[in-house]
Amino acid sequence: MSLVVDIGKRLGAFDLAMRFEQTGRVTALYGPSGSGKTTIVNCVAGLVRPDRGRIALGKTMLFDADAGINLAPHRRRIGYVFQDARLFPHLSVRSNLNYGGWFARRATRVADFAAIVDLLGIGHLLDRRPRDLSGGEKQRVAIGRALLARPRLLLMDEPLAALDRGRRAEILPYLERLADGMTLPILYVSHAIEEVARLADQAVIIEGGRVVADGPVDRVFAREGRDHEIGGILSAKVLGTDDDGVTALAHPGGRLHVPRLRKPSGTTVRVVIRARDIALALGEPGIISIRNRLEAIVSGLGEEGDEIAVTLDVAGTPLIARITRGAARDLALAPGVAVTALIKAVALEER
Ligand SMILES: Nc1ncnc2c1ncn2[C@@H]1O[C@H](COP(=O)(O)OP(=O)(O)OP(=O)(O)O)[C@@H](O)[C@H]1O
């Protein structure tokens, strides 16, 4: 089921005009603070009314300015998980969960309850009150509550932003199970690239109320003039882990090595590469300490201040390296030149 958003909205001085279509199961809305992510999600949920345009979920028109359609939020059957869990403080976890299920039919409710409690690992928390839960546990309950309302679409607005690094790492595997194990489409707002890499198939990048890029996550982040930190995202297959605890990953462009990853061989993972963690060499470098080597072809060069953004084609995946002007000159880089990309560090979220 696809979600089509094509709307305009003015909020004070902020002017939002966006069109995108969610094609994958998990689509990330990625952009800096104030770019309009929450406004979009609120429009989809029915909490903010766009000035113009349309929002359709599958065959259901949720909003159509011209036709005068504006479905009430509770009739949209959309789940919403906020940054803060927003649980009812006076109700137990069980009652908080059932509050969501109240809208669903009884038979599906009972079966779903056990499955969702299990998926989120919250069975031991059912009789507690929200005040006796950690931030990560609260958020898992909030996700469970949203799922039990049997939504047709789940909106998650930076669900991990209020949590510290440890709690984020604790909850990410549950989100991964959710993304992998259910057919429910999820629109996931985040400005954390690692979360996007791990959870989403498609990313819609927004800046200043506009869509600036839209596509598969391993294609959209490698762009000149974009986020200067990010080089790109590579999809790679787990090969195995050696005695030193290093897991080898295979990408068509070469091998990558990361600290032990507890995933079966053959699993596809996505890794985030920082643009400044990439060094370039002509030909095969001699004996050096960097073990991550990818064969690449230079496909573009762009000036960005004192640096050169080198766009690489790594067996079909784009990747940006940011190097000094001097280095680019010494290597005589030009489109079509074959290089070896040496990756100093491969970022993977802790598990
Ligand atoms: N009611 C309003 N009146 C005026 N301006 C508003 C209103 N609501 C939001 N804005 C402005 O619209 C812009 C987009 O806000 P929005 O919350 O959608 O951004 P965001 O990308 O979700 O940001 P963040 O990541 O910080 O939550 C911001 O500049 C914000 O100040």
Per-residue pLDDT tens digits for 173-208 = 888 888 877 788 999 999 888 899 989 999 999 999
Closest C-alpha residue for ligand 1 atom 1: 11
Q: Are 198 and 233 in contact (CB under 8 A)?
A: no
Tell me how far the alpha carbon of residue 126 lies from the centroid of ligand 1, in angstroms.
36
Please state, in angstroms and rounded to a whole number, the distance separating the CA atoms of residues 43 and 187: 12
Confidence of residue 351 (pLDDT cuts 50, 70, 90): very low
Confidence of residue 227 (pLDDT cuts 50, 70, 90): low
pLDDT value at residue 339: 95
Asked if pLDDT for residue 42 goes beyond 90, the answer is: yes
What number does the ligand 1 atom closest to the CA of 40 have? 18
Tell me how far the alpha carbon of residue 225 lies from the centroid of ligand 1, in angstroms.
24
pLDDT tens, residue by residue, 91-131: 999 999 988 665 555 555 566 788 889 888 999 999 999 99
Average pLDDT along the chain = 89
Closest C-alpha residue for ligand 1 atom 2: 11
Please state, in angstroms and rounded to a whole number, the distance separating the CA atoms of residues 83 and 92: 20
- Give the β-pairing of 268-274 and 230-241: antiparallel
Is this prediction's pTM over 0.90? no
Instruction: Give the C-alpha distances (Å, rounded to integers) separating 173 from 66, 224, 264.
Output: 42, 32, 15
Sequence-ordered list of residues with C-beta below 8 angstroms from that of 267, at least 6 positions apart, any chain: 237, 238
Report which of 46, 110, 118, 117 is spatially closest to residue 78, judged by C-alpha positions: 46
- Quote the percentage of the chain above a pLDDT of 90: 61
Q: Are 116 and 177 in contact (CB under 8 A)?
A: no
What number does the ligand 1 atom closest to the CA of 38 have? 22
